[in-house]
Amino acid sequence: MPVDRKYDAIVIGGGHNGLTTAAYLARDGKKVLLLERRHVLGGAAVTEEIFPGFKFSVCSYVVSLLKPNIIRDLQLSRFGLELVPLESTFTPLEGDYLIRCADNDLTRQELYRHSPNDAEAYNKFGQTMSQIGMAVRPILNTMAPDPTKLGFSGARTLMDLGRHFRSLGSDKFEQLAKLMTMSSADFLDEWFEFEPLKATMSASGIIGTFMGPKSPGSAYVMLHHYMGEIDGVFRAWGFQRGGTGAVSMAIARSAEHFGATIMTEADVSKIITRNGHATGVALENGDEFEAQVVVSGLDPKRTFLNLVDASDLPEDFIQSVKNFRIRGSSGKVNLALDGLPDFTCLPGDGPHLSGAISISPDFDYIEKAYDDAKHGSFSKRPYIDIVLPSVLDPDMSPPGKHVMSCFVQYAPYDITGGWDDSKREAFGDTVVNALARFAPNIKDIILHRQVLTPWDIENTFGLTEGNIFHGELALQQLFFLRPVVKWADYRTPVRKLYQCGSGTHPGGGITGAPGEMAAKKILKEWR
């Protein structure tokens, strides 16, 4: 227990972004206190041994966009960061399959088997997306320029971006415009013909949003995921040794190395203000801490509707926060397995088990899954994004046994009648049945099942409505609109109160970007 009551900065929430902000502030010599409500750090990027001997990346399960400069700045490799790339994406089908892997020749041969056109278009598509990603990516690395208040620096950033966009050339610019407006299904239809390929690719356009592949705007979300970068290679997903919690722990160790104090089981109940300035926080247990600067890593609704007194905020700001769309659309099923799943279409062990496994046979499948959710129930045949972390990292489970992470969409937060134990179990059964359709042995090898509904995600991890991104990644709430127009630069209407979570620009995923940029903004404004 730290005896100190006074700090330079207090960070609320030990998720990976909060930790990143704390580490950057501490690295600059600030006296930092980070407060985490739970007994473990990591927020949604957490590893927990839910069943003896089996470690689950309970919520967030892959790492794509963790910024390399953060890894270098915070010396994360030294503190245990070890990212392993997922080797393939496998889409099981009835009687056939689609697999894309690290080797270009193999992927091309496999695509050719299904569609010579797609085999040809695939590389061109990748190149186009990565060039567009390159042009858009600077936005992820800078404060979102806000055209509603064009000061000198804002104008310059916008001009820089303009230059990047111009460098794309007209055909790529056309693609970008389409990405900004179209549905992922329509966009992919222009490129490819093999349904399982399109459906699997479109899935990254719906993750964490309450949209279907045919909803306009979903194409942009797909691009957002394309901007992931590992070693200069775009769209490479990685897996952290020890689970995603180990990413958080590496950042936490770095923060402590730079001198930050980290307290767990410290539930902040209120941000204390005086004359419109944040001056500290109060905990649930009555303890109070003072600081010159308070930073919240929680989602905007938690921060502004729960922790800050409404009288400290402008009415229109509160309204905007209330309007911020944060509908949870996904659930998580984590399985402890006695062996490996055996897919009917590709039996036995093999490289197809060491990457992502996607239950996404066609657009209709996913769109119907969305239809169920629109009408207030979980998908009867859900889209599932599966990884078997123990195949890449044997430490995740006892030898010969495995852990399986299933990200499931859709599981709406607003389910008719509300979630309860029986609905949770029914949801778990549905997911297992959907898996069993392609890997029938799954039912015989389950040793333990953990099912997380959006309600569980909200209750346990503090994510409002169970939304994994602290707010949907939809165009109307990205860039200078995230989370609220005029307040997309990590500042808030309360002076000396900042925000650093996924609800801020550039959004969710294990990127560290909001945390890093918030810290940089805070340090710039420090006096």
Partner 1 sequence: MSIQTQFTGSTSLKVTPFHKRTSVLNHSQEWRRWSGYLSATTYDLTHDVEYYSIRTKAALLDITPLHKYIIKGSDAGIFLDRLVTRNIKVCKIGQVMYTPWCDEDGKQIDDGTVQHLSENRFRLTSAEPNMEWLTHNAAGLEVDISEDSEVTASLALQGPSSRAILNEVADENIDQLKFFWLTERWIGDIPVTISRTGYTGDLGYELWTPKENALTLWDRLMEAGAPFGITPTGLHALDMARIEASLILLDVDYISAQHAAIDLRKSSPFELGLGWTVKLKKKDFIGRTALENDHRRGTEWQLRGIEIEWEPLETLYRKIGLPPQLPGMAWRTSTPLYSGNEQVGYATSGCWSPLLKKYIALAHLKTEYAKEGTPVQFEVKVEHFRKTTSARVVKTPFYNPERKRTCP
Report how far residue 452's alpha carbon sits from residue 434's, in angstroms, rounded to the nearest whole number.
17
Is residue 243 at the binding interface for partner 1, with CB under 8 A as the rule?
no
Tokens read off for 455:
């309600």
**CB 337, min distance to partner 1, A:** 13
**Residue among 414, 334, 308 nearest 48 (CA):** 334
Compare residues 224 and 402 and give the one whose CB is closer to partner 1: 402
Contact stretch for partner 1 (CB under 8 A) within 27-35, 82-90, 273-281, 483-491:
82-90
Q: Distances from the Cα of 394 to the Cαs of 127, 333, 402, in angstroms? A: 34, 20, 8
Report how far residue 117's alpha carbon sits from residue 158's, in angstroms, rounded to the nearest whole number.
38
Q: CA angle at residue 356 from 380 to 122, to 5 degrees? A: 105
Is residue 123 at the binding interface for partner 1, with CB under 8 A as the rule?
no
Compare residues 140 and 272 and give the one whose CB is closer to partner 1: 140
| Residues 91-110 within binding reach of partner 1 (CB under 8 A) | 99, 102-103, 105-106
**CB 95, min distance to partner 1, A:** 16
Compare residues 344 and 433 and give the one whose CB is closer to partner 1: 344
Compare residues 338 and 364 and give the one whose CB is closer to partner 1: 338
| Residues 337-356 within binding reach of partner 1 (CB under 8 A) | 346, 350-352, 354
Looking up tokens 């996904």 gives 330
Among 316, 395, 420, 425, binds partner 1 (CB under 8 A): 395
Report how far residue 32's alpha carbon sits from residue 16's, in angstroms, rounded to the nearest whole number.
16
Compare residues 101 and 291 and give the one whose CB is closer to partner 1: 101
Is residue 290 at the binding interface for partner 1, with CB under 8 A as the rule?
no
Compare residues 52 and 348 and give the one whose CB is closer to partner 1: 348
Contact stretch for partner 1 (CB under 8 A) within 64-72, 198-206, 440-448, 505-513:
64-72
Tokens read off for 381:
């045949």
User: Phi first, then psi: what are they for 7, rounded to 5°?
Assistant: -135, 165
Compare residues 216 and 351 and give the one whose CB is closer to partner 1: 351
Compare residues 34 and 445 and give the one whose CB is closer to partner 1: 445
Name the residue type at position 495.
R
Compare residues 35 and 81 and give the one whose CB is closer to partner 1: 81
Report how far residue 461's alpha carbon sits from residue 446's, in angstroms, rounded to the nearest whole number.
25
**Residue 4 burial by Cβ neighbours in a 10 Å radius (0-12, 13-18, 19+):** exposed
Report how far residue 11's alpha carbon sits from residue 490's, in angstroms, rounded to the nearest whole number.
13
Per-residue exposure over 472-500, b if at least 16 CB sit within 10 Å of its own CB, e if not: bbbbebbbbbbbbbebbbbbbbbebbbbb
**CB 15, min distance to partner 1, A:** 21
Is residue 381 at the binding interface for partner 1, with CB under 8 A as the rule?
no
Report how far residue 314's alpha carbon sits from residue 148's, in angstroms, rounded to the nearest whole number.
18
For residue 70, is it left (φ>0), alpha (ψ between -120 and 50) or beta? Answer: alpha
| Residues 127-166 within binding reach of partner 1 (CB under 8 A) | 130-131, 134
Is residue 298 at the binding interface for partner 1, with CB under 8 A as the rule?
no
Among 8, 28, 82, 160, binds partner 1 (CB under 8 A): 82
Is residue 252 at the binding interface for partner 1, with CB under 8 A as the rule?
no
Q: How many residues touch partner 1 (CB under 8 A)?
A: 36
Is residue 509 at the binding interface for partner 1, with CB under 8 A as the rule?
no
Among 69, 123, 319, 476, binds partner 1 (CB under 8 A): 69
Is residue 336 at the binding interface for partner 1, with CB under 8 A as the rule?
no
Interface mask (CB under 8 A) for partner 1, residues 164-203, using x and -?
Answer: ---x------------------------------------
Compare residues 106 and 485 and give the one whose CB is closer to partner 1: 106
Report how far residue 40's alpha carbon sits from residue 23's, in angstroms, rounded to the nearest whole number.
17
**CB 10, min distance to partner 1, A:** 30
Is residue 58 at the binding interface for partner 1, with CB under 8 A as the rule?
no
Report how far residue 406's alpha carbon sits from residue 269's, in angstroms, rounded to the nearest whole number.
33
For residue 286, is it left (φ>0), alpha (ψ between -120 and 50) or beta? Answer: left
| Residues 212-241 within binding reach of partner 1 (CB under 8 A) | 230-232, 234, 241
**The 3-state secondary structure of 489-508, one letter per residue:** CCECCCECEEECCCCCCCCC
Report how far Cα 222 is from the mean position of its chain's Cα atoms: 13
Is residue 124 at the binding interface for partner 1, with CB under 8 A as the rule?
no
**CB 437, min distance to partner 1, A:** 22
Report which DSSP code applies to 477.
Answer: G
**CB 288, min distance to partner 1, A:** 38
Contact stretch for partner 1 (CB under 8 A) within 392-400, 415-423, 471-479, 486-494:
392-400
Q: Which DSSP string do the residues of 357-425 spell out, in sequence order?
A: EEE---HHHHHHHHHHHHTTS--SS-EEEEE-HHHH-GGGSSTT-EEEEEEEE---SS-TT---HHHHH
Interface residues with partner 1 (CB under 8 A) are 68-69, 71-72, 77, 82-85, 87, 99, 102-103, 105-106, 130-131, 134, 167, 230-232, 234, 241, 346, 350-352, 354, 391-395, 399-400
